[in-house]
């Protein structure tokens, strides 16, 4: 069964994949929307830089205007920005000073600046402490990117930017029909392992749940933790795995209903079956000591041969590059089918454009911010990103002829095998409170003996609370 086009177009990334945004981003309407948190929507800037629009300068960038760029320093690093995208922008606008900085805690560093309406021009909003993107959009702090996507491509003649992208890219960064976010890194998710270790032991990547648990028994007998993730900050890796199983069992509409806050979406039988299956994995094959560890600590244990399967996205290989032994060969497999009657095939995967980049509507140079994104979306910009990070982008054909790593090769093969059967969700981008609760509920399920019923009821209660909170803007797909 193939995923319908609407499901494919609503992919999201990395949601993944990866956040515990700062608390308290929503105030009650009586107190003023987002007052004191991400700035109000009524203070319109009057001194924004603007130049003449021409064929060569379709976004009307002022040639000598300073551009401030802030990039999250995490699994992808920042060299793709400093070595590829910033030089590309500077080559076109040599008079402009590009003020670059990086941060590991985006919300901590930037939330005060959005509160005071003095934000940087372009932000990579990612990491375990990213800002609440839905709240920023709701507060009028994010630039509409329609002009960017309608502009001519920087280096692909005869095409607009929008025509160079993987289908669904624009929709995925849209909020109620308007494009506000560029989800740039096209990420595949699955269970990562060391193919060299598996080959040495004669282990084969499992396809069914019975094969998965049987292999976990063998791995456990060999003195290796069969499956784990980091409870301190990476629970979203695991709830992604749970919902991947739910989508396979019940079809992609299971995730669409969760996104749309439909009644009973979290207590659906497919979600319960998936949660029950993964609860057993946590109880029998996990390591409770990993509840308090960070992602890099558990990832390091995998590099040391102490953990077999690890759920993550394709940024993993680059993130662990400095700690990966030469003999370790990253590979990734789809989440195994839970039942013989799953609606989606075993090869179906969670895959999405992600890693959010946005332009500040109240920055000093929003046109420069959009132009910076145009350079990122050039073929050269996308190719350079993949060479630096080992992660694909949403630019079609950008890595043709590029030598790839073992992990990227494996991820590409998994994506090819999936065909059109890939899916994702939007709710963690839209509703931070729900993301926070999902992390806690997932850790309870996997580490603390939680039940599928408890997990589903807890998440449904949290979803209903978001739905019934008038201060939170609702989004649909």
pLDDT tens readout for residues 258-290: 999 999 999 999 999 999 999 999 999 999 999
State whether residue 359 is helix, strand or coil.
strand
> Would you put residue 246 in left (φ > 0), alpha (ψ -120 to 50) or beta?
alpha
Predicted confidence at residue 397, as pLDDT, reads 85
What is the residue whose two structure tokens read 């909003």?
A: 125
Q: How far is CA 20 from CA 35, 89, 237, 295, in A?
A: 21, 32, 13, 13
Q: Are 334 and 349 in contact (CB under 8 A)?
A: yes
Chain-centroid distance, C-alpha 327: 29
Phi, psi of 174, deg, nearest 5: -95, 150
User: 189-351+431-467 has which CATH code?
Assistant: 3.40.190.10
Structure tokens at 93: 């606008």
Residue pair 134/475 in contact by the 8 Å Cβ criterion: yes
Domain ranges of the chain: 5-187+352-412+420-428, 189-351+431-467
What dotted CATH number matches 5-187+352-412+420-428? 3.40.190.10
- What pLDDT shows up at residue 2? 37
Q: Does 5-187+352-412+420-428 match 189-351+431-467 in CATH topology?
A: yes
pLDDT at 43: 56
Profile the chain (477 residues) by mean pLDDT over runs of 10 residues.
35 31 28 40 71 97 98 94 98 98 97 96 93 94 98 95 92 93 95 98 98 98 98 96 98 98 98 98 98 97 98 93 96 98 98 93 98 97 93 88 84 90 92 96 97 98 98 92
pTM: 0.77
């Amino acid at each position: 069964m193939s995923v319908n086009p609407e499901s494919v177009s609503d992919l999201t990334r990395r949601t993944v994949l990866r956040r515990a945004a700062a608390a308290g981003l929503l105030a009650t309407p009586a107190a003023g929307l987002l007052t004191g948190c991400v700035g109000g929507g009524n203070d319109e800037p009057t001194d924004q830089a603007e130049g003449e629009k021409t064929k060569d300068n379709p976004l009307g960038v002022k040639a000598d205007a300073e551009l401030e760029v802030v990039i999250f320093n995490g699994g992808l690093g920042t060299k793709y920005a400093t070595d590829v995208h910033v030089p590309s922008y500077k080559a076109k606008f040599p008079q402009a000073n590009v003020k670059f900085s990086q941060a590991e805690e985006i919300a901590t560093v930037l939330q005060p600046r959005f509160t005071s309406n003095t934000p940087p021009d372009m932000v990579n909003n990612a990491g375990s402490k990213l800002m609440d993107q839905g709240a920023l959009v709701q507060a009028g702090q994010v630039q509409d990117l329609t002009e960017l996507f309608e502009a001519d491509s920087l280096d692909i003649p005869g095409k607009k930017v929008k025509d160079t992208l993987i289908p669904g890219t624009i929709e995925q960064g849209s909020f109620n029909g308007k494009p506000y976010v560029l989800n740039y890194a096209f990420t595949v998710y699955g269970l990562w392992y060391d193919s060299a270790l598996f080959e040495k032991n004669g282990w084969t990547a499992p396809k069914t749940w019975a094969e998965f648990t049987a292999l976990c028994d063998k791995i456990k007998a060999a003195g290796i933790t069969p499956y784990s993730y980091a409870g301190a900050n990476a629970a979203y890796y695991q709830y992604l795995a749970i919902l991947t199983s739910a989508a396979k069992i019940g079809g992609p509409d299971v995730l669409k209903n969760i996104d749309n806050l439909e009644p009973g979406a979290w207590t659906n039988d497919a979600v319960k079956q998936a949660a029950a299956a993964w609860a057993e994995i946590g109880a029998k094959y996990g390591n409770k000591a990993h509840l308090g560890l960070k992602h890099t600590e558990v990832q390091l244990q995998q590099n040391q041969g102490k953990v077999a399967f690890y759920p993550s996205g394709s940024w993993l290989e680059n993130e662990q590059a400095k700690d990966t032994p030469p003999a370790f060969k990253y590979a990734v497999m789809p989440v195994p089918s839970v039942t013989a009657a799953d609606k989606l095939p075993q090869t179906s995967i969670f895959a999405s454009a992600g890693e959010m980049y946005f332009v500040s509507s109240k920055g000093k140079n929003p046109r420069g911010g959009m132009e910076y994104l145009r350079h990122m979306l050039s073929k050269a910009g996308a190719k350079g990103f993949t060479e630096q990070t080992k992660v694909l982008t949403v630019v079609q054909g950008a890595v043709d002829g590029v030598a790839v790593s073992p992990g990227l090769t494996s991820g590409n093969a998994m994506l090819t095998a999936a065909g059109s059967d890939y899916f994702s969700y939007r709710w963690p981008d839209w509703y931070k409170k729900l993301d926070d609760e999902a992390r806690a509920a997932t850790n309870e399920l996997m580490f603390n003996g939680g039940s599928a019923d408890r997990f589903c009821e807890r998440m449904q209660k949290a979803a209903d609370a978001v739905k019934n909170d008038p201060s939170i803007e609702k989004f649909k797909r």
